[in-house]
Amino acid sequence: MSQVYGNSSLNIAATCAKDGSMGLFFDRDPSNMKNEYIITPEKKIFEFAATGFYERCIADAPLSSRAWTFQERYLAPRTMHFSGEQIFWECCEIMASETLPDGIPNPMIRNQDQFPSTANPAEWGQMVSIYSRAKLTHPTDKLVAMSGIARKFQDQAPDLYLAGLWRGNLERQLCWRTAKLNTDSENHSTLYRAPTWSWASTDQPVTWRLWHTNDVSLHQQGQEVLIEFMNFNVVLAGSDNLGQLESAELQLKCGPLIRAKTLVDGRWYSKNTQGKVFYDLDDYSADASGFYALPTVEHIQEERTVLYGLIVKMAEKRRTGYFARVGVFDLAFDNNYRDLIRSVSTYSGGLTDELLYQEILEPNSDGIKQYSITLI
């Protein structure tokens, strides 16, 4: 796929067509192409394009809702869109239309619809956020329909690809959350296609925008990663190492797991109004009983500490130390991670029983015990 569309000269897209029977051409209403004008007291005339036309014609068009065509559009060097109102031209330098032949200004395009300007793992989150809003006829194609883009990213910035995430920024990329826009669809496919720690495991749109930051995966300065990649085990469903999976496990070195109920009960609220624990469970449940918080990233700010991490539960029918991801949490408080762990340990049942880990490791430099677990 990456070679076919990546080496093409021009991709012609029936962007307004709901299926293959409709073709390129549609009856158009000329009034939709009229721009608006404002005349100032100084007799200057300013022209404004009709608002929302990019969303109607491209972002929210039928073709953009199909996951398989997403990489065709991204990989092709040039695309001519035949929409229901006008023709658009898209390439790496410009997005233009009949009414705006010199280019559509960026403010007219929603941030969540803008493709990243570079193909590197740092921009991966934005690409996945756009892709995850599209629909698949066969849910098992979730990673397959993205493999061409993953290959292009890998060619330009070589890195290990693990079930839709990149090793170089894995610890942060684990902290995705569901955007909960497709409320009518199921959260997860009944057929396996990705591990619970991968965004590809859910049918919901995903984002890396948490509650105390714009994008946890891109905020590097002032952060300390609290987990460490140890090993992985991936079983491919075919020959493509960027495609469909049969299973995938991720072994991590981490600090103590905290009983999620302990945090959610509000014992560590900060003094300011933004200090409470926010958490998002993939199954929309509001009850954190039986779940554990896995602190992943500590972000030190001027007046407070923000802690990001996963919410996990013990994996069913698995050996000790195996956990499934069920959500993500976001905690702002006045102390730091080290003090939080020490404080939680004073509460009965605040920390996970050590018998639930795969292995007990040596404490880190702060004296916090380390353990090994496997996410499935």
- 100 with 194, same domain: the answer is no
- The token pair at 249 is 């496990």
By the 8 A CB rule, do 295 and 255 touch? yes
Does 192 reside within a domain? yes
pTM as predicted:
0.84
Instruction: Using alpha carbons, select from 325, 320, 304, 308 the residue that is nearest to residue 226.
Output: 308
Does 245 reside within a domain? yes
- Axis crossing angle, helix 147-156 with helix 67-75, rounded to the nearest 10: 30
Looking at 80, 115, 150, which one is the last position of a domain?
115
* Distances 292 to 21, 217, 339, 342 between C-alpha atoms, Å: 50, 22, 18, 16
- 7 with 141, same domain: the answer is no
* Domain count for the chain: 2
Kindly give the parts of the chain with pLDDT less than 70.
1-2, 32-35, 49-51, 111-112, 117, 121, 180-190, 214-222, 264-277, 279, 282-289
Does 125 reside within a domain? no
The predicted structure's pLDDT at residue 288: 60
Whether the CA torsion 109, 110, 113, 119 is positive or negative: it is positive
Q: In angstroms, rounded to a whole number, what is the distance separating the alpha carbons of residues 100 and 79?
A: 16
Whether the CA torsion 299, 304, 305, 308 is positive or negative: it is negative
Q: What domain range includes position 274?
A: 130-376
**Using alpha carbons only, what angle is made at residue 248 by residues 312 and 1, rounded to the nearest 5 degrees?**
125
Does 167 reside within a domain? yes
Within 8 A by CB and 6+ apart from 4, the residues are none
- 180 with 75, same domain: the answer is no
Q: Any idea which residue has 């609290």 for tokens?
A: 226
- 47 with 160, same domain: the answer is no
- 26 with 170, same domain: the answer is no
- 99 with 171, same domain: the answer is no
- 35 with 96, same domain: the answer is yes
The predicted structure's pLDDT at residue 61: 92
- The token pair at 20 is 């293959």
- 298 with 208, same domain: the answer is yes
Looking at 65, 86, 115, which one is the last position of a domain?
115
The predicted structure's pLDDT at residue 371: 97
Looking at 89, 115, 141, which one is the last position of a domain?
115
- 142 with 105, same domain: the answer is no
- 204 with 282, same domain: the answer is yes
pLDDT in tens, 218-235: 556 668 899 999 999 999
Mean pLDDT over each residue of the chain, to the nearest integer? 84
Whether the CA torsion 11, 17, 19, 25 is positive or negative: it is negative
- 305 with 328, same domain: the answer is yes
Does 121 reside within a domain? no
The predicted structure's pLDDT at residue 335: 81
Strands, E assignment, 6-159: 11-13, 36-39, 45-48, 78-82, 87-91, 95-97
- 222 with 287, same domain: the answer is yes
